[in-house]
Amino acid sequence: MATGSEAGKSAEAVLEWPKQDKKRMLHAVYRVGDLDKTIKCYTECFGMKLLRKRDVPEEKYTNAFLGFGPEDTNFALELTYNYGVDKYDIGAGFGHFAIANEDVYKLSETIKSSDCCKITREPGPVKGGSTVIAFAQDPDGYLFELIQRGPTPEPLCQVMLRVGDLDRAIMFYEKALGMKLLRKKDVPQYKYTIAMMGYAEEDKTTVLELTYNYGVTEYNKGNAYAQVAIGTDDVYKSAEAVELVTKELGGKILRQPGPLPGLNTKITSFLDPDGWKVVLVDYADFLKELH
């Protein structure tokens, strides 16, 4: 049986792994009611590419992966269509995805000329700042923030989720997943605080934008947005670290690490303290699956 100091040391070693692991944000998964319409919308309005599509008739669903670059270097959106289901509840917890573009005014005009997406906030500077943004809504009601930014290797730049305790969420993603707090901003006049979490600077990679609205500790998550997937060098070590952190901060392991039946890709999945699902994927297995 381990002594207190031995247990302490082993916990320390377990929590060292997320700091060393070369994690990368891979994709966000969510459900849509008309896959072909959404693919058309994202390619025509946002300029995304359809990267791959797979139909799984025995499970009655079809997936489509869309993004701005190949999946082995770029973040992607994984759209899921479940046979016969044409509507989902987005809920109040999911916020938006974000796309960085060099000319948000021009992009907004492109979107306005399409028949599948609509602009819900006209392009212009953010309140109290100079960054030009706009908001667009897709056929299922998902929001996309359009952010004016210089050339970037990753135009699909944010996944925004609302959380009930921002400091707890920051600590969870730092300790369990080795993310860095890139920026924190409190906006008291609008009663919210945001934290940008990621593995590289905001203009270089996809980040999680965690939003805390003053006094709101819980959100209805609906059944539309599913999860974010993150690549790891070792799902077993990563799951061990996540499990340890959930005991301290909340959340729970949903699927113990191991290969997926039929695919052999090793994964583990868990809920964070706010109930948002994350899937960790063995990165070498993920690359094999792509090629």
Q: Domains of the chain: which residue ranges?
A: 5-290
Phi, psi of 114 (to 5 degrees): -90, 170
What pLDDT is stored for residue 3 in this prediction? Answer: 45
Stretch 115-138: mean pLDDT: 94
What pLDDT is stored for residue 1 in this prediction? Answer: 42
Q: Rounded to an integer, what distance in angstroms lies between the CA atom of residue 191 and that of residue 14?
A: 37
Stretch 9-33: mean pLDDT: 95
pLDDT, tens only, 157-182: 999 999 999 999 999 999 999 999 99
Residue 6 clears pLDDT 70, i.e. is over it: no
Residue 105 clears pLDDT 60, i.e. is over it: yes
Residue 2 clears pLDDT 80, i.e. is over it: no
Task: Write down the mean pLDDT value for the chain.
Answer: 95
Stretch 33-46: mean pLDDT: 97
- Check: CB of residue 191 under 8 Å from CB of residue 214: yes
Residue 231 clears pLDDT 70, i.e. is over it: yes
Q: Rounded to an integer, what distance in angstroms lies between the CA atom of residue 258 and that of residue 267?
A: 6
What pLDDT is stored for residue 64 in this prediction? Answer: 98
- 145 annotated to bind ligand: yes
Stretch 254-279: mean pLDDT: 96
Stretch 254-271: mean pLDDT: 95
Phi, psi of 47 (to 5 degrees): 80, 20
- 78 annotated to bind ligand: yes
What pLDDT is stored for residue 7 in this prediction? Answer: 55
Residue recorded with tokens 């609205």: 213
Q: Rounded to an integer, what distance in angstroms lies between the CA atom of residue 282 and that of residue 257?
A: 10
Stretch 8-14: mean pLDDT: 82
pLDDT band at 9 (very low <50, low <70, confident <90, very high): low
- 96 annotated to bind ligand: yes
Residue 5 clears pLDDT 60, i.e. is over it: no
Amino acid at 268: T
Active site residues: 145
CB atoms within 10 A of CB 114: 14
Domain 5-290, second-level architecture: Roll (3.10)
Stretch 112-129: mean pLDDT: 92
HSE-CB of 156 using CA atoms within 13 angstroms: 24
What pLDDT is stored for residue 263 in this prediction? Answer: 83
CA 254 to chain centre: 18
pLDDT, tens only, 180-199: 999 999 999 999 999 999 99
